[in-house]
Structure 1
């Protein structure tokens, strides 16, 4: 594998930490900023929404700019956003800084994905995407425990100073080791929007959204699930999060290798189908520790195994607009996280049992499976023109 892909993956880890790292330190931030806990929670919600909206827009508007220069400039903006967060004196000021880091993170992530497939041979593109997603999952999974640890030792502001320093390290690696990559020929926005509106692509993006929604319906409430169903204390809950995290981190690489070996379409169906089964099994497995751990590991690994195959499928389906499709798919992922967390809260309120969240989540994943099948059954405009010719 080209070493440049590993550099891009490291950069994604550095910038990706900023999204969910506040999740474990919300009470501390709320106290320091004199706001309610629910208000502090908007730091996560706003980040996800800005990420989802900014990614495709920024990709289109910067399409002609040389990729390496754009990457370095965006990392610099990300650095500034974290420094502003470190020095923020009010919650409003911190929210503005949060918008800056969200927008820059969105562009860095999609640039990493699009650049990764351009620096490797075609046969390794899914594996390259898998490594990038391994970086994304690493940052999302490890962000919460890292945030709690650093905040306890040195205070919550130091977290963002550390992330800023990591971004400087990424800038150094990109500057010295990444080759220049010319921007793409700008495709008219109307054509890109038309490509996004094709039923084949809509089905693929909905599959990603429902997959992540199903995952976060239970994962967002995993702590009360472990407390209620397995009577675990905080020490053992941390152990289970660590095991889950390691499985999730490996999932991206596994998904990439699977897609390279058997193709994107069968990989997508296998991953989504097995993921649904693992969610439905979770409440039953919780009665037996030796059964629950392997089910949890499979659940964790599959939670990030879809992305490489899905990204490869988007590239294969419409190569001309693949960059915007990849960006929009990341937006669908972020929207899925928000929807899943909201549905999980609704399910818990309505049923009073966190176990039901796993079944609600499984139902959403079945919808993802159906959306994937629908997408496979449709043709893009380019494919129809090719058949006609």
Structure 2
């Protein structure tokens, strides 16, 4: 039963790398396409807002389809999109290349998560999604920084070309090795799933994801630019720093998977508290090797943990419709990513790079207060 989850984790690596690889490439893309870094950051916003707008609807619709065929189709779509990105002559074609995979990401992530939970049972949802999440963390550990290193050596277009080839290879692996699984809970109608949105508790959980991801990506979207301009690092060193940031995320992924099975909201508050410390300390420690490493380590651990905690938190809040609940987290999280990229770009243009950590921490602090309020709310009825 473990091997299918590992296959989905490997595919998830490619899916999430496609979304986040651009974080390390923004300075290069901006220079090559003759736009500012804050304008290039709108590519992050476009991807995220597309996921947020269409994710729940596409997931609810595609939940009826046979999983193997669906996952392979999504990976082929990602391969085509990354190929287009590698050849994009201007920001408009690049925007199209980012729009296409944004339609497939929420469907894959939500339904792969549901499939993993089905295999192990809801009591171990955190641990199951931890294994799926391992692919996400590896995207941060290897995908984003290796993409940055490839960009530094061969140009940013090469990073997207390599990712296109990897997506095709993963599609072939799923075709050969992933067992055929039918849609589960096909009797759950679109109407019954969307009834979840009328619950104030579910609305609160979605808002919590929006706030958390807004805070994370107000700063993280421009981390490569911070390291280049404030720390004075070249592209290669930025790549290694991003790899270290992702590597400590393996710790966060493991800690988050265990903590969220005990109490999702307490886990969210604890990790967010430490995240504020890492974000705020980053710029003051920018010229201290030990200080910078410590700040990035705390931020990296907590950010990886919050990817997982947020996802499982929504699924546990609506156990009768976990895939749709997961898609709501993905939508809320990506709305937050898009808002964070917008806010971060505005902060850079008005207050400067050094203010990003404080702006980001404002979102995280509000999310902690919301989590505290949600702890007193009544759970959703299982028959909703």
TM-score tier after normalising by the smaller chain length: 0.7 to 0.9
Q: 1:12-63 CA distances to partner (integer Å, 9 max, x unpaired)?
A: 111222223344445665677x664566554433222222223212111112
Alignment of 1:24-39 (within 5 A): 24-25=24-25, 36-37=35-36
Shift of 1:126: 0.5
Residue deviations 1:78-124, cap 9 Å, x none?
Answer: 33333444565666555434322221233222222222212224443
Deviation (angstroms), 1:10: 0.8
Equivalent residue number for residue 174 of structure 1: 174
- Displacement, 1:285? 4.7
Q: Which residue of 1 aligns with 2:369?
A: 370
Contact kept, 8 Å, 1:127 with 1:308, in 2: the verdict is no
Aligned twin of 1:164: 164
Any idea what SS the aligned residue of 1:187 has?
coil
Q: Which residue of 1 aligns with 2:359?
A: 360
Name the counterpart of 1:200: 201
Please say if residues 130 and 307 of structure 1, whose CA atoms lie closer than 8 Å, have aligned partners that are also in contact.
no
* 3-state DSSP of counterpart to 2:271: helix
- Aligned-residue Cα RMSD (Å) equals 3.1
Instruction: Determine helix, strand or coil for the equivalent of 2:375.
Output: helix
Quote the offset at 1:181 in angstroms: 2.4
Q: Match of 1:276?
A: 276
Q: Is the 8 A contact 1:19 1:140 kept in 2?
A: no
| 1:235-274 paired onto structure 2 within 5 Å | 236-260=237-261, 262-274=262-274
| SS in structure 2 at match of 1:305 | helix
2:229 and 2:155 map into 1 onto residues whose CA distance is 31
- Structure 2 gaps, min length 5: none
In the TM superposition, residue 368 of structure 1 has moved relative to its aligned partner by 0.9
State whether residues 200 and 374 of structure 1, in contact with CA within 8 Å, keep that contact through their aligned partners in structure 2: no
**Partners of 1:282 and 1:154 in 2: how far apart?**
30
* Residues 97, 124 of structure 1: alpha-carbon distance in 2 compared, 3 angstrom cutoff: same
Question: How far apart, in 2, do the equivalents of 1:19 and 1:249 lie?
Answer: 19
Aligned twin of 1:345? 345
Distance 1:102 1:224 in 2: 24
CA contact (8 A) 2:41 2:341 kept: no
Give the superposition deviation at 1:150.
3.0
Contact 2:42 2:341 in 1 (8 A): no
Residues 190-229 of structure 1: pairs in structure 2 closer than 5 A: 190-223=191-224, 225-226=226-227
Question: Residues 260 and 313 of structure 2 are in contact (CA less than 8 Å); yes or no, is this contact kept in structure 1?
Answer: no
CA shift digits 1:102-151 (9 cap, x unpaired): 21233222222222212224443202212322322432564443334334
TM-score normalised by length of structure 1: 0.84
Partner of 1:6: 6
Please identify, of 319-328 and 131-140, the stretch whose mean Cα deviation from structure 2 is larger: 131-140
Find the counterpart in structure 2 of residue 336 from structure 1: 336
Aligned to 1:379: 378
Larger radius of gyration between Structure 1 and Structure 2:
1
1:98-137 matches, within 5 Å, as 98-137=98-137
Which whole-Å CA distance do the structure 2 matches of 1:293 and 1:29 have between them? 27
Aligned to 1:119, the other structure's residue is in SS state helix
Change (3 A) 1:309 1:156: closer
5+ long unaligned stretches in structure 1: none
The reply to whether residue 317 of structure 1 matches residue 308 of structure 2 is no
The answer to whether the 8 A contact 1:75-1:108 is kept is: no
- Asked whether the 8 Å contact 2:282–2:292 carries over to 1, the reply is yes
- Kindly tell me: are residues 26 and 233 of structure 1, through their superposed partners in 2, closer, same or farther at Cα, counting changes over 3 Å? closer
CA gap 1:194/1:162 in 2 versus in 1, 3 angstroms: same
- Once the two structures are TM-superposed, the CA of residue 271 in structure 1 deviates from its matched residue by 1.5
Q: Is residue 217–residue 340 contact of structure 1 (8 Å, CA) maintained in 2?
A: yes
How far apart, in 1, do the equivalents of 2:358 and 2:156 lie?
36
Moved more, 91-100 or 186-195: 91-100
Deviation at residue 300 of structure 1 after TM alignment: 0.8
1:292-339 deviations in Å (ceiling 9; x for gaps): 422321111101202333333323321122211101101211121222
Determine if the alignment matches structure 1 residue 63 to structure 2 residue 45: no
Alpha-carbon distance in structure 2 between the residues aligned to 1:5 and 1:51:
23
User: Are the aligned partners of 1:218 and 1:344 in contact in 2 as well (CA < 8 Å)?
Assistant: yes
